[in-house]
């Protein structure tokens, strides 16, 4: 395991961790909070950086301890260093970004269903695949563009080997996952996570060469803890 990333708020920048608890729904607290358009239903109700790239300039992290009934406090920092909580003050930031009413959604730790993730519990990418794609693209490629939970390094440098993981078991630390499906990419990856500059050529490249798929979604078979440096085995 090379890197662990958690996103307490869907479509905001997240936090890099050295270790994390994995629950049935995924990483503890991952996408547990979301911005909602109450005029929409289903998946369309989520307000995301696909429509408002500036959301990525806000970084969310957990502070303090949670409980069985609530996650830890969410602290949000903007690019100018201003701090917000998950409250109306933060919500007021969107008056100039979104022309519709926006509300805050908060899930709880006892959820037995997926939180505000896109498809399955955990998204995994490999370092070798990122490097291969970077070489083909011809530009420096920040792995954070893909908003994966786990960036893993494989012993064998075999780019895109995750495409053959489907329906196989992955063990990382004390956690067992099952690779469910490849991740179909959207315009989120065209936004640089720091500069917010858009470059659609990356998505075009993945569409042409990878059928728009990059990374793999996995569900949780056995919960436990994962740490940076843990070995990964594939059955």
Judge whether 8 and 74 are in contact, CB under 8 Å: yes
**197 in helix, strand or coil?**
coil
pTM of the model: 0.94
pLDDT in tens, 128-155: 999 999 999 999 999 999 999 999 998 7
Q: Which two tokens stand for residue 215?
A: 């990374």
pLDDT interval class at 164 (50, 70, 90): very high
Rg (alpha carbons) of the chain, rounded to whole number:
17
- Under DSSP, is residue 136 helix (H, G, I), strand (E, B) or coil? helix
* For the chain, percent of residues with pLDDT exceeding 90: 74
Residue 6 pLDDT level (bands cut at 50, 70, 90): very high
**Separation of alpha carbons 72 and 55, rounded Å:** 21
Among 100, 151, 104, residue whose Cα is nearest residue 8: 104
Q: What is the dihedral of CA 93, 59, 126, 123, to 10 degrees?
A: -60
Q: What's the average model confidence in pLDDT over 196-210?
A: 96
Q: Which backbone phi and psi does 218 adopt, to 5 degrees?
A: -130, 145
Residue 40: which residues within 8 A CB-CB, separation 6 or more?
none
Q: Whose CA is closest to 60, among 85, 95, 25, 35? A: 85
């Amino acid at each position: 395991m090379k890197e662990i990333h958690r996103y307490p708020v869907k479509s905001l920048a997240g936090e890099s961790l050295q270790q994390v608890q994995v629950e049935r729904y995924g990483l503890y607290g991952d996408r547990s909070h979301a911005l909602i358009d109450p005029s929409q239903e289903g998946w369309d109700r989520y307000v995301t950086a696909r429509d408002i790239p500036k959301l990525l300039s806000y970084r969310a992290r957990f502070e303090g301890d949670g409980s069985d009934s609530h996650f830890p406090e969410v602290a949000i920092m903007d690019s100018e260093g201003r701090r917000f909580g998950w409250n109306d003050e933060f919500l007021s930031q969107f008056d100039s970004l979104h022309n519709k009413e926006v509300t805050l959604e908060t899930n709880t730790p006892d959820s037995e269903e997926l939180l505000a993730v896109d498809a399955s519990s955990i998204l995994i990418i490999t370092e070798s695949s990122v490097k291969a794609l970077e070489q083909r693209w011809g530009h420096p490629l920040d792995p954070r563009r893909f908003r994966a939970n786990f960036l893993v390094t494989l012993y064998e440098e075999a780019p895109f080997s995750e495409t053959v993981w489907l329906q196989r078991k992955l063990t990382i630390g004390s956690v067992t996952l099952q690779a469910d499906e490849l991740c179909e990419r959207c315009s989120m990856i065209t936004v640089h996570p720091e500069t917010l500059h858009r470059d659609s050529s990356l998505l075009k490249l993945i569409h042409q060469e990878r059928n728009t798929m990059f990374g793999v979604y996995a569900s949780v078979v056995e919960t436990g803890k994962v740490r940076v440096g843990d070995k990964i085995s594939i059955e």
